[in-house]
Chains A and B, each alone.
Chain A
Protein backbone atom coordinates (compact mmCIF):
# COMPACT_ATOMS: atom_id res chain seq x y z
CA UNK A 1 0.00 0.00 0.00
CA UNK A 2 1.25 3.41 -0.92
CA UNK A 3 0.59 6.88 0.43
CA UNK A 4 -0.12 8.11 -3.08
CA UNK A 5 -3.23 5.97 -3.44
CA UNK A 6 -4.89 7.63 -0.50
CA UNK A 7 -3.83 11.10 -1.61
CA UNK A 8 -5.23 10.51 -5.10
CA UNK A 9 -8.48 9.24 -3.59
CA UNK A 10 -8.74 12.34 -1.42
CA UNK A 11 -8.08 14.59 -4.43
CA UNK A 12 -10.80 12.85 -6.44
CA UNK A 13 -13.32 13.19 -3.62
CA UNK A 14 -12.44 16.86 -3.20
CA UNK A 15 -12.98 17.54 -6.90
CA UNK A 16 -16.34 15.75 -6.86
CA UNK A 17 -17.30 17.88 -3.86
CA UNK A 18 -16.34 21.10 -5.66
CA UNK A 19 -18.37 20.07 -8.71
CA UNK A 20 -21.43 19.41 -6.56
CA UNK A 21 -20.92 22.63 -4.63
CA UNK A 22 -20.89 24.77 -7.75
CA UNK A 23 -23.52 23.06 -9.90
CA UNK A 24 -26.25 21.92 -7.52
CA UNK A 25 -29.39 24.01 -7.17
CA UNK A 26 -30.80 22.39 -4.06
CA UNK A 27 -29.47 24.02 -0.90
CA UNK A 28 -29.34 20.75 1.04
CA UNK A 29 -27.23 19.17 -1.69
CA UNK A 30 -24.76 22.04 -1.36
CA UNK A 31 -24.34 21.14 2.31
CA UNK A 32 -23.80 17.49 1.36
CA UNK A 33 -21.07 18.56 -1.07
CA UNK A 34 -19.36 20.51 1.71
CA UNK A 35 -19.39 17.34 3.82
CA UNK A 36 -17.74 15.47 0.94
CA UNK A 37 -14.96 18.06 0.75
CA UNK A 38 -14.34 17.90 4.50
CA UNK A 39 -14.10 14.12 4.28
CA UNK A 40 -11.55 14.41 1.49
CA UNK A 41 -9.41 16.55 3.78
CA UNK A 42 -9.81 13.93 6.49
CA UNK A 43 -8.58 11.17 4.18
CA UNK A 44 -5.47 13.25 3.45
CA UNK A 45 -4.81 13.84 7.12
CA UNK A 46 -5.21 10.18 8.00
CA UNK A 47 -2.92 9.10 5.17
CA UNK A 48 -0.18 11.46 6.29
CA UNK A 49 -0.70 10.39 9.89
CA UNK A 50 -0.23 6.73 9.05
CA UNK A 51 2.64 6.95 6.58
CA UNK A 52 4.70 9.96 7.69
CA UNK A 53 4.03 10.17 11.40
CA UNK A 54 3.17 6.71 12.69
CA UNK A 55 4.83 7.15 16.08
CA UNK A 56 2.65 9.95 17.41
CA UNK A 57 -0.56 10.07 15.48
CA UNK A 58 -1.19 13.80 15.29
CA UNK A 59 -3.09 13.53 12.04
CA UNK A 60 -5.80 11.57 13.80
CA UNK A 61 -6.10 14.34 16.38
CA UNK A 62 -6.65 16.87 13.60
CA UNK A 63 -9.18 14.54 11.98
CA UNK A 64 -11.20 14.43 15.18
CA UNK A 65 -11.22 18.23 15.29
CA UNK A 66 -12.31 18.42 11.65
CA UNK A 67 -15.15 15.98 12.36
CA UNK A 68 -16.27 18.16 15.27
CA UNK A 69 -16.26 21.33 13.20
CA UNK A 70 -18.08 19.53 10.37
CA UNK A 71 -20.84 18.44 12.74
CA UNK A 72 -21.27 22.00 14.01
CA UNK A 73 -21.25 23.33 10.45
CA UNK A 74 -23.93 20.86 9.37
CA UNK A 75 -26.21 21.85 12.24
CA UNK A 76 -25.90 25.59 11.65
CA UNK A 77 -26.08 25.24 7.86
CA UNK A 78 -29.26 23.20 7.95
CA UNK A 79 -30.80 25.69 10.39
CA UNK A 80 -29.98 28.50 7.95
CA UNK A 81 -31.54 26.51 5.10
CA UNK A 82 -34.69 25.98 7.16
CA UNK A 83 -34.91 29.68 8.01
CA UNK A 84 -34.48 30.70 4.37
CA UNK A 85 -37.07 28.12 3.29
CA UNK A 86 -39.52 29.50 5.80
CA UNK A 87 -39.04 33.05 4.58
CA UNK A 88 -38.63 32.52 0.85
CA UNK A 89 -40.65 29.31 0.35
CA UNK A 90 -37.99 27.84 -1.91
CA UNK A 91 -34.66 26.06 -1.64
CA UNK A 92 -33.41 27.04 -5.08
CA UNK A 93 -29.87 28.40 -4.81
CA UNK A 94 -30.47 30.68 -7.78
CA UNK A 95 -33.14 32.62 -5.89
CA UNK A 96 -31.07 33.21 -2.77
CA UNK A 97 -29.94 36.65 -3.87
CA UNK A 98 -30.45 38.26 -0.50
CA UNK A 99 -26.89 39.55 -0.24
CA UNK A 100 -26.33 40.04 -3.95
CA UNK A 101 -26.35 43.69 -4.93
Chain B
Protein backbone atom coordinates (compact mmCIF):
# COMPACT_ATOMS: atom_id res chain seq x y z
CA UNK B 1 0.00 0.00 0.00
CA UNK B 2 2.81 2.39 0.93
CA UNK B 3 4.51 1.42 -2.29
CA UNK B 4 1.33 2.10 -4.22
CA UNK B 5 0.96 5.51 -2.61
CA UNK B 6 4.54 6.44 -3.37
CA UNK B 7 4.29 5.35 -6.99
CA UNK B 8 0.82 6.60 -7.83
CA UNK B 9 -0.32 8.95 -5.06
CA UNK B 10 2.60 11.32 -4.83
CA UNK B 11 2.98 12.01 -8.57
CA UNK B 12 -0.77 12.52 -8.85
CA UNK B 13 -0.81 15.00 -5.96
CA UNK B 14 2.15 16.91 -7.43
CA UNK B 15 0.52 16.99 -10.85
CA UNK B 16 -2.80 18.24 -9.46
CA UNK B 17 -0.94 20.91 -7.48
CA UNK B 18 0.90 22.03 -10.64
CA UNK B 19 -2.33 22.17 -12.62
CA UNK B 20 -4.05 24.20 -9.90
CA UNK B 21 -1.04 26.52 -9.74
CA UNK B 22 -1.67 27.39 -13.38
CA UNK B 23 -5.46 27.33 -13.57
CA UNK B 24 -6.29 29.42 -10.50
CA UNK B 25 -4.05 32.38 -11.46
CA UNK B 26 -5.25 31.98 -15.05
CA UNK B 27 -8.90 32.33 -14.07
CA UNK B 28 -8.02 35.34 -11.91
CA UNK B 29 -6.17 36.81 -14.88
CA UNK B 30 -9.23 36.19 -17.06
CA UNK B 31 -11.44 37.99 -14.55
CA UNK B 32 -9.14 40.98 -14.43
CA UNK B 33 -8.63 40.95 -18.19
CA UNK B 34 -12.35 41.68 -18.58
CA UNK B 35 -11.88 44.51 -16.09
CA UNK B 36 -8.77 45.76 -17.91
CA UNK B 37 -10.64 45.65 -21.20
CA UNK B 38 -13.42 47.85 -19.87
CA UNK B 39 -10.91 50.26 -18.33
CA UNK B 40 -8.79 50.46 -21.51
CA UNK B 41 -11.84 50.98 -23.70
CA UNK B 42 -13.07 53.61 -21.28
CA UNK B 43 -9.73 55.41 -21.35
CA UNK B 44 -9.71 55.30 -25.15
CA UNK B 45 -13.18 56.82 -25.23
CA UNK B 46 -12.50 59.36 -22.47
CA UNK B 47 -14.80 57.67 -19.98
CA UNK B 48 -14.10 56.35 -16.50
CA UNK B 49 -15.15 52.73 -16.89
CA UNK B 50 -16.29 50.58 -13.97
CA UNK B 51 -15.45 52.50 -10.78
CA UNK B 52 -18.24 51.75 -8.32
CA UNK B 53 -17.68 48.25 -6.91
CA UNK B 54 -14.67 48.34 -4.58
CA UNK B 55 -11.66 50.68 -4.85
CA UNK B 56 -11.27 51.83 -8.50
CA UNK B 57 -13.98 49.29 -9.36
CA UNK B 58 -11.55 46.44 -8.69
CA UNK B 59 -14.27 44.08 -7.44
CA UNK B 60 -16.33 44.53 -10.60
CA UNK B 61 -15.29 41.13 -12.11
CA UNK B 62 -16.39 39.37 -8.90
CA UNK B 63 -19.74 41.11 -9.02
CA UNK B 64 -20.15 40.17 -12.68
CA UNK B 65 -19.27 36.54 -11.95
CA UNK B 66 -21.72 36.38 -9.05
CA UNK B 67 -24.45 37.87 -11.21
CA UNK B 68 -23.88 35.26 -13.92
CA UNK B 69 -23.93 32.45 -11.34
CA UNK B 70 -27.26 33.58 -9.90
CA UNK B 71 -29.02 33.59 -13.27
CA UNK B 72 -31.14 30.82 -14.65
CA UNK B 73 -29.75 28.45 -17.27
CA UNK B 74 -32.22 28.52 -20.12
CA UNK B 75 -32.19 25.69 -22.65
CA UNK B 76 -34.30 26.48 -25.71
CA UNK B 77 -37.10 24.04 -26.54
CA UNK B 78 -35.82 23.11 -29.98
CA UNK B 79 -32.22 22.82 -28.82
CA UNK B 80 -30.21 19.65 -29.10
CA UNK B 81 -29.64 19.28 -25.36
CA UNK B 82 -26.46 17.23 -25.17
CA UNK B 83 -24.57 19.23 -27.79
CA UNK B 84 -25.95 22.49 -26.39
CA UNK B 85 -24.47 21.76 -22.96
CA UNK B 86 -21.25 20.23 -24.32
CA UNK B 87 -20.31 23.21 -26.50
CA UNK B 88 -19.43 25.72 -23.75
CA UNK B 89 -17.72 23.02 -21.71
CA UNK B 90 -15.59 22.09 -24.72
CA UNK B 91 -14.64 25.72 -25.36
CA UNK B 92 -13.63 26.22 -21.75
CA UNK B 93 -11.69 22.95 -21.47
CA UNK B 94 -9.79 23.60 -24.70
CA UNK B 95 -8.76 27.04 -23.49
CA UNK B 96 -7.30 25.47 -20.32
CA UNK B 97 -5.56 22.29 -21.53
CA UNK B 98 -3.27 24.15 -23.90
CA UNK B 99 -1.49 25.69 -20.90
CA UNK B 100 0.10 22.31 -20.13
CA UNK B 101 2.91 22.98 -22.61
CA UNK B 102 3.53 26.72 -22.07
CA UNK B 103 6.98 27.23 -20.51
CA UNK B 104 6.95 29.97 -17.86
CA UNK B 105 10.67 29.76 -17.27
CA UNK B 106 13.53 27.41 -18.03
CA UNK B 107 12.15 24.03 -16.94
CA UNK B 108 8.95 25.49 -15.46
CA UNK B 109 6.43 23.66 -17.63
CA UNK B 110 4.02 20.83 -16.84
CA UNK B 111 4.60 18.80 -20.01
CA UNK B 112 7.81 19.58 -21.86
CA UNK B 113 6.84 17.57 -24.93
CA UNK B 114 8.81 17.44 -28.17
CA UNK B 115 5.92 18.58 -30.32
CA UNK B 116 4.77 21.45 -28.08
CA UNK B 117 4.02 23.87 -30.87
CA UNK B 118 2.05 21.29 -32.86
CA UNK B 119 0.05 20.58 -29.71
CA UNK B 120 -0.78 24.26 -29.35
CA UNK B 121 -1.72 24.46 -33.02
CA UNK B 122 -3.93 21.37 -32.71
CA UNK B 123 -5.71 22.75 -29.63
CA UNK B 124 -6.28 26.14 -31.21
CA UNK B 125 -7.66 24.49 -34.36
CA UNK B 126 -10.15 22.61 -32.19
CA UNK B 127 -11.55 25.84 -30.79
CA UNK B 128 -13.88 26.11 -33.76
CA UNK B 129 -15.88 23.07 -32.59
CA UNK B 130 -17.23 24.76 -29.50
CA UNK B 131 -18.59 27.54 -31.68
CA UNK B 132 -20.02 25.32 -34.44
CA UNK B 133 -21.66 23.01 -31.91
CA UNK B 134 -23.15 25.96 -30.04
CA UNK B 135 -24.46 27.52 -33.22
CA UNK B 136 -26.00 24.36 -34.57
CA UNK B 137 -27.52 23.03 -31.35
CA UNK B 138 -29.16 26.35 -30.41
CA UNK B 139 -31.64 25.86 -33.27
CA UNK B 140 -31.61 29.57 -33.98
CA UNK B 141 -30.76 31.18 -37.30
CA UNK B 142 -28.62 33.92 -35.77
CA UNK B 143 -26.55 31.43 -33.82
CA UNK B 144 -26.22 29.20 -36.86
CA UNK B 145 -25.06 32.03 -39.13
CA UNK B 146 -22.53 33.07 -36.51
CA UNK B 147 -21.25 29.51 -36.30
CA UNK B 148 -20.86 29.22 -40.06
CA UNK B 149 -18.91 32.45 -40.17
CA UNK B 150 -16.71 31.22 -37.34
CA UNK B 151 -15.96 27.96 -39.10
CA UNK B 152 -14.91 29.65 -42.34
CA UNK B 153 -12.96 32.38 -40.58
CA UNK B 154 -11.01 30.21 -38.17
CA UNK B 155 -10.12 27.59 -40.78
CA UNK B 156 -8.91 30.34 -43.16
CA UNK B 157 -6.62 32.07 -40.72
CA UNK B 158 -5.23 28.81 -39.37
CA UNK B 159 -3.51 28.23 -42.71
CA UNK B 160 -1.37 31.35 -42.58
CA UNK B 161 -0.75 30.80 -38.85
CA UNK B 162 0.62 27.37 -39.72
CA UNK B 163 3.04 28.86 -42.24
CA UNK B 164 4.20 31.45 -39.72
CA UNK B 165 4.90 28.69 -37.20
CA UNK B 166 6.84 26.71 -39.81
CA UNK B 167 9.06 29.71 -40.55
CA UNK B 168 9.80 30.00 -36.82
CA UNK B 169 10.56 26.28 -36.72
CA UNK B 170 13.02 26.68 -39.57
CA UNK B 171 15.00 29.14 -37.48
CA UNK B 172 14.93 26.92 -34.40
CA UNK B 173 15.10 23.35 -35.66
CA UNK B 174 12.85 22.04 -32.90
CA UNK B 175 9.16 21.84 -32.10
CA UNK B 176 9.81 22.14 -28.38
CA UNK B 177 8.64 25.45 -26.92
CA UNK B 178 11.52 25.75 -24.43
CA UNK B 179 13.99 25.21 -27.29
CA UNK B 180 12.20 27.91 -29.30
CA UNK B 181 12.65 30.38 -26.45
CA UNK B 182 16.29 29.40 -25.93
CA UNK B 183 16.96 29.94 -29.64
CA UNK B 184 16.02 33.62 -29.19
CA UNK B 185 18.91 34.42 -26.85
CA UNK B 186 20.74 36.41 -29.54
CA UNK B 187 17.72 38.15 -31.02
CA UNK B 188 13.96 37.85 -30.53
CA UNK B 189 12.30 36.47 -33.65
CA UNK B 190 10.01 39.49 -33.81
CA UNK B 191 12.88 41.45 -35.40
CA UNK B 192 14.21 39.15 -38.17
CA UNK B 193 10.71 37.79 -38.88
CA UNK B 194 8.88 41.09 -38.49
CA UNK B 195 6.33 40.57 -41.32
CA UNK B 196 5.57 37.11 -39.95
CA UNK B 197 5.13 38.58 -36.49
CA UNK B 198 2.55 41.03 -37.79
CA UNK B 199 0.74 38.33 -39.79
CA UNK B 200 0.72 36.13 -36.70
CA UNK B 201 -0.64 38.85 -34.44
CA UNK B 202 -3.48 39.69 -36.85
CA UNK B 203 -4.22 35.98 -37.33
CA UNK B 204 -4.49 35.52 -33.58
CA UNK B 205 -7.06 38.31 -33.54
CA UNK B 206 -9.05 36.39 -36.17
CA UNK B 207 -8.49 33.06 -34.44
CA UNK B 208 -9.83 34.34 -31.11
CA UNK B 209 -12.72 36.12 -32.90
CA UNK B 210 -11.68 39.43 -31.47
CA UNK B 211 -12.38 42.84 -32.89
CA UNK B 212 -11.94 43.80 -35.76
CA UNK B 213 -12.73 40.21 -36.79
CA UNK B 214 -15.61 39.59 -34.37
CA UNK B 215 -18.13 38.91 -37.12
CA UNK B 216 -18.93 35.70 -35.31
CA UNK B 217 -20.72 37.75 -32.70
CA UNK B 218 -21.65 40.57 -35.04
CA UNK B 219 -24.21 42.12 -32.71
CA UNK B 220 -25.26 44.66 -35.30
CA UNK B 221 -26.65 41.97 -37.60
CA UNK B 222 -26.62 38.65 -35.71
CA UNK B 223 -27.85 39.83 -32.27
CA UNK B 224 -24.94 38.14 -30.46
CA UNK B 225 -23.95 35.43 -32.91
CA UNK B 226 -23.29 31.89 -31.82
CA UNK B 227 -24.03 32.35 -28.11
CA UNK B 228 -27.29 34.25 -28.47
CA UNK B 229 -29.29 31.44 -26.81
CA UNK B 230 -26.89 30.96 -23.89
CA UNK B 231 -27.40 32.33 -20.42
CA UNK B 232 -25.95 32.06 -16.94
CA UNK B 233 -23.01 29.66 -16.47
CA UNK B 234 -23.15 28.26 -20.00
CA UNK B 235 -22.63 31.80 -21.25
CA UNK B 236 -19.98 32.42 -18.60
CA UNK B 237 -18.00 29.41 -19.81
CA UNK B 238 -17.93 30.82 -23.35
CA UNK B 239 -16.87 34.17 -21.98
CA UNK B 240 -14.13 32.69 -19.80
CA UNK B 241 -13.00 30.51 -22.69
CA UNK B 242 -12.74 33.47 -25.05
CA UNK B 243 -10.62 35.51 -22.65
CA UNK B 244 -8.48 32.52 -21.62
CA UNK B 245 -7.88 31.93 -25.34
CA UNK B 246 -6.78 35.54 -25.70
CA UNK B 247 -4.24 35.08 -22.91
CA UNK B 248 -3.13 31.79 -24.47
CA UNK B 249 -2.61 33.37 -27.87
CA UNK B 250 -0.63 36.19 -26.25
CA UNK B 251 1.52 33.60 -24.49
CA UNK B 252 2.02 31.86 -27.84
CA UNK B 253 3.04 35.15 -29.51
CA UNK B 254 5.43 35.78 -26.62
CA UNK B 255 7.02 32.34 -26.87
CA UNK B 256 7.32 32.37 -30.66
CA UNK B 257 8.37 35.95 -31.29
CA UNK B 258 9.09 37.94 -28.13
CA UNK B 259 11.65 35.67 -26.51
CA UNK B 260 9.40 34.01 -23.92
CA UNK B 261 10.87 34.43 -20.46
CA UNK B 262 14.13 36.05 -21.66
CA UNK B 263 14.71 39.57 -20.41
CA UNK B 264 15.64 42.12 -23.08
CA UNK B 265 19.38 42.23 -23.97
CA UNK B 266 20.05 39.24 -21.69
CA UNK B 267 19.62 41.55 -18.68
CA UNK B 268 19.85 39.11 -15.77
CA UNK B 269 20.82 40.79 -12.50
CA UNK B 270 19.56 37.95 -10.27
CA UNK B 271 20.34 34.27 -9.84
CA UNK B 272 18.61 31.40 -8.07
CA UNK B 273 15.00 31.75 -6.96
CA UNK B 274 14.97 35.49 -7.60
CA UNK B 275 16.20 34.78 -11.13
CA UNK B 276 13.13 32.61 -11.73
CA UNK B 277 10.89 35.39 -10.49
CA UNK B 278 12.72 37.84 -12.75
CA UNK B 279 12.26 35.58 -15.82
CA UNK B 280 8.60 34.98 -15.07
CA UNK B 281 8.08 38.70 -14.56
CA UNK B 282 9.30 39.33 -18.11
CA UNK B 283 7.14 36.52 -19.47
CA UNK B 284 4.02 37.96 -17.86
CA UNK B 285 4.97 41.52 -18.79
CA UNK B 286 5.22 40.52 -22.45
CA UNK B 287 1.88 38.70 -22.30
CA UNK B 288 0.33 41.79 -20.73
CA UNK B 289 1.77 43.96 -23.50
CA UNK B 290 0.33 41.72 -26.26
CA UNK B 291 -3.01 41.67 -24.45
CA UNK B 292 -2.97 45.45 -24.28
CA UNK B 293 -2.47 45.45 -28.07
CA UNK B 294 -5.57 43.24 -28.37
CA UNK B 295 -7.60 45.77 -26.41
CA UNK B 296 -6.00 48.72 -28.19
CA UNK B 297 -6.99 47.26 -31.57
CA UNK B 298 -10.53 46.79 -30.32
CA UNK B 299 -10.72 50.40 -29.22
CA UNK B 300 -9.33 51.67 -32.52
CA UNK B 301 -10.53 49.56 -35.44
CA UNK B 302 -14.05 49.22 -36.89
CA UNK B 303 -15.33 45.73 -37.67
CA UNK B 304 -14.28 44.20 -41.00
CA UNK B 305 -16.78 43.37 -43.68
CA UNK B 306 -17.02 39.62 -44.20
CA UNK B 307 -15.71 39.51 -47.79
CA UNK B 308 -12.79 41.75 -46.81
CA UNK B 309 -11.97 39.40 -43.96
CA UNK B 310 -11.79 36.44 -46.33
CA UNK B 311 -9.82 38.44 -48.88
CA UNK B 312 -7.27 39.43 -46.25
CA UNK B 313 -6.87 35.83 -45.10
CA UNK B 314 -6.60 34.07 -48.44
CA UNK B 315 -5.31 36.69 -50.86
CA UNK B 316 -2.96 38.69 -48.66
CA UNK B 317 -1.78 36.68 -45.68
CA UNK B 318 -1.50 33.29 -47.35
CA UNK B 319 0.73 34.40 -50.28
CA UNK B 320 2.72 36.68 -47.99
CA UNK B 321 3.42 34.00 -45.39
CA UNK B 322 4.15 31.41 -48.09
CA UNK B 323 6.61 33.77 -49.78
CA UNK B 324 8.27 34.68 -46.51
CA UNK B 325 8.56 31.00 -45.57
CA UNK B 326 10.41 30.23 -48.82
CA UNK B 327 12.54 33.35 -48.37
CA UNK B 328 13.46 32.34 -44.80
CA UNK B 329 14.36 28.82 -45.88
CA UNK B 330 16.41 30.15 -48.81
CA UNK B 331 18.27 32.62 -46.61
CA UNK B 332 19.06 30.02 -43.95
CA UNK B 333 20.29 27.48 -46.49
CA UNK B 334 22.34 30.01 -48.49
CA UNK B 335 24.22 31.31 -45.48
CA UNK B 336 24.50 27.90 -43.82
CA UNK B 337 22.51 29.06 -40.79
CA UNK B 338 19.99 26.23 -40.84
CA UNK B 339 20.01 24.50 -37.43
CA UNK B 340 21.49 21.04 -37.69
CA UNK B 341 23.27 21.93 -40.94
CA UNK B 342 27.00 21.70 -41.40
Are A and B part of the same complex? Answer: no
Interface residues of B (CB under 8 A from A): none
